[in-house]
Amino acid sequence: MIKGREEGRQEGRQEGRQEGRKEDQELGKELGPELGLRNALYRLLQIKFGELSADQQKLIEQAGSSKLDEYLSKVLEAKSIQGVLAD
């Protein structure tokens, strides 16, 4: 009986780990592209305009994929960071 419980616990742990991995993979697929856009935007803004203020960083951190894509499309022609991050 003890052996059966231990096998059941091990099986439960294994199923839990597999489910956790699956959830992590799904989250990674969801957040990965957004993280890439955010990193590219940070890099381009820093190269073109220098360091960003805390408020500018917060605005970028809170932006979703579509907003980040919008910001990225403005970087080349913008005269200032405000020109990129303005609505």
Pick the closest to residue 47 from 12, 84, 10, 15 (CA basis): 84
Q: Quick check: 34 and 68 in contact, CB under 8 A? A: yes
| Cα–Cα distances in angstroms (integers) from residue 82 to residues 57, 71, 72, 78, 79, in the given order | 12, 10, 13, 8, 8
Query: What tens digit of pLDDT does each residue of 37-63 get?
Result: 999 999 999 999 999 999 999 999 999
Name the pTM for this structure: 0.65
Q: What ranges in 2-64 are assigned the alpha helix state H? A: 2-49, 54-62
Q: Round to whole Å and give the CA distance between 4 and 6.
A: 5
Higher pLDDT, 30 or 9: 9
Query: What tens digit of pLDDT does each residue of 68-80 get?
Result: 999 999 999 999 9
